[in-house]
Chain A
């Protein structure tokens, strides 16, 4: 073997080592080690990513029927820091009254994915969301004050369970907790103070792609081999003010994740009468912009 060939072999081995040892350094959206976390529909997912949720259509009955159509665009500034902007159009219809329509307040956010553990399939992120007063229609419930919500998010896959518990390794859980702080104590003309609200949620997922590729190839055909059944739970608990009832929904459903897009659908079950009535639903189309535009819009700016 010549010196040149030895050098080439050495470089080749180094590249191979890097491919096995360093995958987390250039990770794709929502990936921690062997785990891919799909974007959840109801609670925010923990990954900083270039992505577009368009549209998200949701329906739930409460005092009346409420339908909303929303969109959210998220852009990475760096590999671990992203900003987002979102809008939501709402139609509310109460019996005997004409329907009210309009936009909710504009929402912006910043997310810092400050921990990614490939070995433990774990992601931790800090987020600050801002809902801007005066940008929505009060007739459909848009607040007359700005709300700032700092929070934490996490994702954890079960891939580090022992091999003897292989059936459980496709499980993953993601979650969020946020504390919504209104910009002013009371809106003009209102009898009550604006409450501070704890918003919290969890998603339990079972990844069939993980099962197929990491644990046991069951020969599942398309589209089932790309599906992740999940249950999301989303709650809000006012921590100030007279009404401190927790409201929220439990949302079982499915996400199908493709190369550039994912499609999700979930039922929505209110946890109590204050949260709604009957069974609602939510569907979403979600684009992975880092795959749609890998060399332009889908790259971090810095």
Chain B
């Protein structure tokens, strides 16, 4: 019995806190174009998948071009059937070069997270 009790406690803790926890806050899980990648065609949409559904009011995505020009990508939308993925439309005719994507997200727990990454368009 004494051996079973600690194991049960550990199992309960892991099931309560561990099973449902994949990541910390609203963190970027995957992006398309991928972080640090080079793509042949300029993307029409930048897709950002998070570990939890970010709130749309309170989240934003900015694209910084090779010339340093900043463009707020809007309107942001959720991917159909996937509340954890934000879709950000890009301006038409992105020129070849390296772009930075700067994002800010507001999680359901009211925590703000942010990040940025680069991708390169090289036909």
Partner of A36, one of B17, B24, B51, B75: B24
B30 touches A19 (CB 8 A): no
A217 touches B31 (CB 8 A): yes
B102 touches A26 (CB 8 A): no
A276 touches B (CB below 8 Å) = no
A288 touches B (CB below 8 Å) = yes
Q: Known contacts A257-B24, A294-B109; is A166 also within 8 Å of B115 by CB?
A: no
Q: How many A-B residue pairs have CB under 8 A?
A: 128
Beta-carbon contacts of A19-39 to B below 8 Å, as 1s and 0s? 111111111100101101000
Give the size of the chain A interface in residues (CB under 8 angstroms). 46
User: In the complex, A21 Cα to B103 Cα: how many Å?
Assistant: 10
A23 touches B117 (CB 8 A): no
Q: Which residue of A lies closest to B30 (CB)?
A: A217
A6 touches B (CB below 8 Å) = no
Q: Which residue of A lies closest to B103 (CB)?
A: A20
A214 touches B115 (CB 8 A): yes
Partner of A258, one of B13, B23, B116, B117: B23
B24 touches A17 (CB 8 A): no
User: In the complex, A225 Cα to B57 Cα: how many Å?
Assistant: 28
- Of the stretches A8-16, A174-182, A244-252, the one at the interface is A8-16
CB distance from B85 to the nearest CB of A (A): 15
Q: Which residue of B lies closest to A11 (CB)?
A: B57
A209 touches B (CB below 8 Å) = yes
Q: List which A97-112 residues lie within 8 A (CB) of chain B.
A: none
Partner of A259, one of B13, B23, B28, B31: B23
Q: Known contacts A258-B22, A259-B24; is A20 also within 8 Å of B117 by CB?
A: no
B22 touches A259 (CB 8 A): yes
A13 touches B112 (CB 8 A): no
B36 touches A217 (CB 8 A): yes
B116 touches A27 (CB 8 A): no
B22 touches A22 (CB 8 A): no
User: In the complex, A166 Cα to B59 Cα: how many Å?
Assistant: 26
A28 touches B36 (CB 8 A): no
B90 touches A (CB below 8 Å) = no
Q: Which residue of A lies closest to B10 (CB)?
A: A285
Residues of B within 8 A of A216 (CB): 35-36
Listed from nearest, the 6 A-B pairs whose CB atoms lie closest are A216-B36, A294-B109, A16-B60, A258-B21, A259-B21, A19-B104
29 A-B residue contacts at CB 8 Å?
Answer: A12-B74, A13-B74, A15-B57, A15-B58, A15-B60, A16-B72, A20-B60, A21-B104, A23-B113, A24-B112, A28-B112, A28-B113, A33-B114, A36-B27, A163-B118, A213-B28, A213-B117, A215-B117, A216-B36, A217-B36, A258-B18, A259-B21, A259-B23, A261-B21, A288-B24, A290-B111, A291-B111, A294-B108, A295-B109
